[in-house]
Amino acid sequence: MSRLHLHPENHLVTRIGWLRAAVLGANDGIVSTASLIVGVAAATAAQNDVLIAGIAGLVAGAMSMAAGEYVSVSSQSDTEQADLERERKELKDDPEFELAELRDIYVKRGVDQALAQQVAKQLMAKDALMAHARDELGISEVTAARPVQAALTSAATFAIGAALPLLMVVVSPTSLVIPVVSAASLGFLALLGAIGAKAGGANVLRATARVTFWGAMAMALTAGIGAVFGTVV
């Protein structure tokens, strides 16, 4: 609670990052599953087949999101850890050189030589590794990146998004699957787009229009492909 009080901006940024990631995951789930459903339904499959395809799409998409996120977060975390380890060793082996290095960074940013020396010295006295991590490596916060948590979050948000068009298949009459799923999914996308834009401080109308347009394109394309294959097969 007291940390929250001390670093309000910091926490706001992480919260927005989280929300945006969740919105993106749900977006992916809606677009890919709705497109899949519309494509299969356009091939005049039975409602049951449409549902099975949609569920398979949900599972496959969630797994793929989880795997992708796991790999990306782990490798970023590995890189940061390796950088910090190297820095820690350099600080131990040659503190004089590291002090000069940090001083030169500040000089390059416009601080005069004597003051830069003083700043570098004081920062290194407090926390040498952190000072170098921040100003030399550009790692602002030593975060323990959690790849498993990131993977689960991605999979969950994708699955929630994917569940929306699936639910529409269940509640809509067979003959209306395509229009109901398309319209409802575009509605969900627009809503999410608005939430995401609001959280990120972006233009709500533009973000909503963009996400709805691309969602509609994806569905139209797979519906077209489904229709072609449906008549051929």
Site for Zn ion in 37-66 (CB under 5 A): none
Phi and psi dihedrals of 130, rounded to 5? -65, -40
Q: Which is nearer to Zn ion, 55 or 107 (CB)?
A: 107
The site that binds Zn ion (CB under 5 A) totals a number of residues, namely 4
> Residue 105 CB, nearest distance to Zn ion (Å)?
9
Query: Of these, 40, 65, 132, 185, which contacts Zn ion (CB under 5 A)?
Result: 132
Minimum CB separation from Zn ion for residue 130, in Å? 11
By the 8 A CB rule, do 162 and 61 touch?
yes
Whole-angstrom CA distances from 136 to 38, 68, 83, 108, 131 are 51, 29, 10, 12, 8
- With binding defined as CB under 5 A, does residue 136 bind Zn ion? yes
3-state secondary structure of 46: coil
Decide whether 44 or 90 has the Cβ nearer to Zn ion.
Answer: 90
Interface with Zn ion in residues 198-227 (CB under 5 A): none
Reference 23, options 175, 189, 215; nearest CA is 189
Residues numbered 109 to 128 that lie near Zn ion (CB under 5 A) are none
Q: Is 135 in the site for Zn ion (CB under 5 A)?
A: no
8-state DSSP, 43:
T
Q: For residue 97, what are its two tokens?
A: 């050189």
Nearest-approach distance from CB 91 to Zn ion, in angstroms: 7
Compute the least distance from the CB of residue 106 to Zn ion, in Å.
13
The Cβ of residue 174 has, within 10 Å, a number of other Cβ atoms equal to 11
Q: Which is nearer to Zn ion, 63 or 137 (CB)?
A: 137
Closest by CA to 177, choosing from 24, 53, 62, is 53
Q: Please, which residue, 80 or 101, has the CB nearer to Zn ion?
A: 101
For Zn ion, the binding residues in 81-100 under the rule CB under 5 A are 98
Mind giving me the DSSP string for 114-165? Answer: HHHHHHHHHHHHHHHHHHHIIIII---S-----HHHHHHHHHHHHHHHHHHH
Position of minimal CB gap to Zn ion: 132
Minimum CB distance to Zn ion, residue 140 (Å): 15
- Only one of the segments 12-20, 67-75, 116-124, 130-138 lies at the binding site for Zn ion (rule: CB under 5 A); that segment is 130-138
Q: Residues in the site for Zn ion, rule: CB under 5 A?
A: 98, 101, 132, 136
